């Protein structure tokens, strides 16, 4: 079933042939045995990690024409928690995050976007917070040298503002980005995080955003 169409990315160099795997999204050089080996390993681990066989008791919190969102809570059966762990491991690996132990593991809510192909196409991990620091736009703060060296060191306000829900991870499978999956995950969190109310964008906060995360969050919070 899996196709491996080759897509040649022209990066302006001669003899540069990069292939993107249509199943796992890894970009590698097919002519390089070491690269190919790494791909085979990653491919297997990734597809195993995002495989979703369906659970007897699943908490579907949103349904769409192209998939659904399932919520996993800390006291759910071991098979559900194991899937969340596997997905988080893939996400953390991609983001280059060290395994961070959540501050309140018994209060973490994980939202999985399950595609029609029975794969986890998106993941959002949320936890309760009391305050957050507003991200300042690059132009408003004084230029600091550290923000150039480390692209994650955005300027933050030092005035805490009340918040309710912290988004510690948001991730969408590489080959399914820009299909509003992240947007739908955040909409669903705002609707489900606290019973009976729809959180405003001021009440949610993205922790330690990556450049992608920042672009998404900025767009999401302004629209």
Distance CA 202, CA 193 (A): 14
Q: Does 134 bind ligand ACO (CB under 6 A)?
A: no
Q: Does 103 bind ligand ACO (CB under 6 A)?
A: no
Residue with the CB atom nearest ligand ACO in the bound state: 213
Q: Does 170 bind Zn ion (CB under 5 A)?
A: no
Per DSSP, the three-state class of 23 is coil
Q: Does 46 bind ligand ACO (CB under 6 A)?
A: no
Which two tokens mark 202?
A: 């001021």
37 versus 100: smaller Cβ distance to ligand ACO: 100
Distance CA 186, CA 201 (A): 10
Among 14, 75, 148, 178, binds ligand ACO (CB under 6 A): 178
Among 81, 183, 188, 199, binds ligand ACO (CB under 6 A): 183
171 binds, among ligand ACO, Zn ion, none (CB under 5 to 8 A by kind): ligand ACO
21 binds, among ligand ACO, Zn ion, none (CB under 5 to 8 A by kind): Zn ion
DSSP string, 186-201: HHHHHHHSSTT----G
Among 170, 189, 192, 204, binds ligand ACO (CB under 6 A): 170
Could you tell me which residues are beta bridge partners of residue 113? 69, 122
Which two tokens mark 15?
A: 């003899």
Distance CA 168, CA 183 (A): 15
Q: Does 43 bind Zn ion (CB under 5 A)?
A: yes
Distance CA 148, CA 151 (A): 6
Q: What is the DSSP letter of 203?
A: G
Select the span of 28-36, 37-45, 168-176, 195-203 touching ligand ACO (CB under 6 A).
168-176
Buried b (16+ CB within 10 A) or exposed e, 205-222: bbeebbeebbebbeebee
87 binds, among Zn ion, ligand ACO, none (CB under 5 to 8 A by kind): none
Positions that interact with ligand ACO (CB under 6 A)? 95, 167, 169-172, 177-183, 206-207, 209-210, 212-213, 215-216, 219-220
């Amino acid at each position: 079933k899996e196709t491996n169409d080759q897509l040649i990315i022209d990066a302006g160099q001669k003899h540069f042939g990069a292939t993107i795997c249509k199943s796992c999204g890894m970009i590698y050089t097919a002519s390089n045995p070491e690269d190919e080996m790494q791909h085979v390993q990653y491919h297997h681990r990734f597809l195993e990690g995002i495989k979703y066989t369906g659970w007897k008791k699943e908490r579907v919190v949103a349904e769409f024409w192209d998939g659904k969102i399932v919520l996993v809570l800390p006291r759910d059966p071991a098979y559900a928690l194991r899937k969340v762990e596997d997905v988080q491991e893939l996400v953390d690996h991609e983001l280059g995050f060290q395994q961070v132990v959540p501050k309140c593991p018994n209060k973490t809510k994980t939202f999985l976007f399950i595609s029609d192909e029975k794969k986890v196409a998106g993941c959002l991990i949320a936890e309760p917070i009391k305050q957050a620091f507003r991200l300042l736009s690059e132009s408003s703060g004084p230029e600091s040298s550290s923000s150039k060296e480390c692209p994650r060191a955005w300027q933050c306000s030092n005035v805490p503002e009340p918040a309710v829900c912290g988004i510690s991870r948001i991730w969408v499978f590489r080959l399914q980005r820009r299909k509003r999956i992240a947007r739908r995950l955040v909409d669903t969190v705002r609707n489900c995080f606290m019973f009976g109310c729809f959180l405003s964008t001021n009440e949610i906060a993205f922790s330690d955003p990556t450049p992608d995360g920042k672009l998404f969050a900025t767009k999401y919070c302004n629209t």
